[in-house]
Structure 1
């Protein structure tokens, strides 16, 4: 995500003047698919990574990733991956990734995070990303995560009280959407945005009806413990967005403001993993 000039902003709304098209132009940058699925048995698939996935782990670690497809209410067939911790996981993270990567490129991070937090991870590619069908649109974003939520609960029998909703960058949008409707163990908002128009106009303090991704309003309806993480030097989504989300979230716990942190480097700071562990061990209560 980036800031826009007034000329670029007018182009977004005039060609054509529809919020879903505006959102697509601002937010979605799907890369070339970095993986394939290979059927194993029934609905289960193994994941085959391409060179642009830059896999760093072993074949044994790759086998921890279980692939499958799910059909959304809007008719799109989207790809999902379930990463198993191996031991007895305390939580399952439902992870919504950023705007310029797909499941294959995120696989290294999922395996690392899974082992560090001792949690299972469920993730998915948005419509139009990776090998998911459909087109990236705001409305599809919400139906995508709702479909994965149903699978997590019904196929994998995961209790909502053991689920952490985790969104990074554009992934905070569906995460907040789902968290505003469902009580879960906890929510992580990593480098999130308040709304689409506030990306272009940082001084805007009112949400217009045509404003895509109005997370700053929806975050008020979250009733689960919520950790907000943001870098103070984020040049993609300004630090003010983290501050705004935190001030409007009634269940926000102590945030993690990473001094000098950018948009794509927070996980490299020791304080990042330390704060996540405290969130899971202290801030989140298990029913």
Structure 2
């Protein structure tokens, strides 16, 4: 039952870019080393294909820093893939001085299982008109909660076995829907260096409606797992997030065992926090300070408050990520785009009103 529920929920939670923004080819000039032709070739980036326990083959990138003091596994949001995130990963690795492993979930980019590849083939031949498939038939290979858990487990195994990363050196970073696999792995791994939750969700259902208890059909139940995370946790959330309300981040922060001073970005939305100077400033302070201090006896780390009132940086500002690309666009059928249309016609309603349920019933989903 749980697997079927997860497959149904996947229709509302996952929106992989279609077509994918990149391809993976074998470079014969480099002994068959994998590369992504759509992005600049970098000697410090490994392109990998990993097999998950559910039989899917996922694509991952490992960005190496020559003076890294830690390694990070980054789980992205639900409307991006590695091609769109590539330059951001390279820049983040450089700014934080970490090795960074990014990956695509099963069904995203070039990460696919046998069932998905067959569906794509049929689609190109005109024999399948519902690609991506809308039935649970290929649930093992299409984006789902269970698949993302298997995906991050495969990545975790790779960084430990192939790159020799110890748990004490590993930081897990989860953005939006990526907070689900991040919190799940962190709750099962006791000796991690740290966790970063960026625009996180309490659970899938709670994004749409403020339920007070966890239901069996809910997905990504971070609210029930966060208290099992035994390492410092940094929560970053925009105060003007219209997709995942800031209350999600604040409640998760309160439930953390080992708290680090959170970052509430004043006026920040769901997809633009990286453009605020305070984002990289606070994140860098957290990451670089992890090896220098011990947790307080009450289980919380405290640092001086960082101002969250700064506006997005002007061009050339030193404390912002100067990225040579645009952030991933929000799908046209997302809740975010629906909200924009609604604003032009009538006043915005409360997120916690009945219209949330109606949007859910009409299968209008949010970009988590």
CA distance in 2, matches of 1:88, 1:43: 27
Give 2:109's aligned residue.
130
Give 1:5's aligned residue.
none
Give 1:247's aligned residue.
254
Give 2:138's aligned residue.
none
Query: Helix, strand or coil for the counterpart of 2:23?
Result: strand
Report the Cα offset of residue 68 of structure 1.
Answer: 1.1
**Which structure 2 residues correspond to residues 2-13 of structure 1 after superposition, within 5 A?**
none
Give 2:171's aligned residue.
164
1:102 aligns with 2:81: yes
Farther off after superposition, 212-221 or 36-45 = 36-45
CA distance in 2, matches of 1:70, 1:127: 11
8 A Cα contact 2:253 2:259, kept in partner: yes
> Among 92, 104, 129, which residue is 2:71 paired with?
92
Report the Cα offset of residue 249 of structure 1.
Answer: 1.3
1:220–1:284 Cα change, 3 Å: farther
CA distance in 1, matches of 2:288, 2:96: 10
CA deviations 1:33-84 (Å, max 9, x no partner) are 11122224678412221xxxxx5xxx45x34321111110000011111111
Give 2:56's aligned residue.
76
Give 1:220's aligned residue.
227
CA distance in 2, matches of 1:152, 1:282: 22
More strand per residue: 1
CA distance in 1, matches of 2:292, 2:10: 37
TM-score by length of 2: 0.68
8 A Cα contact 1:166 1:189, kept in partner: yes
**Which structure 2 residues correspond to residues 52-67 of structure 1 after superposition, within 5 A?**
59=40, 62-67=42-47
- The runs of 4+ residues in structure 1 deviating greater than 3 Å are 40-44, 283-287
> Among 139, 142, 149, which residue is 2:156 paired with?
149
Number of residue pairs aligned between Structure 1 and Structure 2: 261
TM-score by length of 1: 0.86
Report the Cα offset of residue 281 of structure 1.
Answer: 2.5
1:121 aligns with 2:100: yes
1:192 aligns with 2:192: no
CA deviations 1:184-230 (Å, max 9, x no partner) are 1110000000001111112x121112111101111110001100000
Give 1:30's aligned residue.
16
8 A Cα contact 1:44 1:68, kept in partner: no
Report the Cα offset of residue 21 of structure 1.
Answer: 2.6
8 A Cα contact 1:126 1:144, kept in partner: yes
8 A Cα contact 2:3 2:146, kept in partner: no
Give 1:8's aligned residue.
none
CA RMSD of aligned residues (A): 2.0
Query: Helix, strand or coil for the counterpart of 1:142?
Result: helix
Gaps of 5+ in 1: 1-15, 50-54
Structure whose CA Rg is larger: 2
Give 2:5's aligned residue.
19
Report the Cα offset of residue 286 of structure 1.
Answer: 8.2
Report the Cα offset of residue 18 of structure 1.
Answer: 4.0
CA distance in 2, matches of 1:187, 1:68: 23
8 A Cα contact 1:146 1:178, kept in partner: yes
1:42–1:19 Cα change, 3 Å: farther
> Among 25, 34, 57, which residue is 1:45 paired with?
34
CA distance in 1, matches of 2:69, 2:10: 36
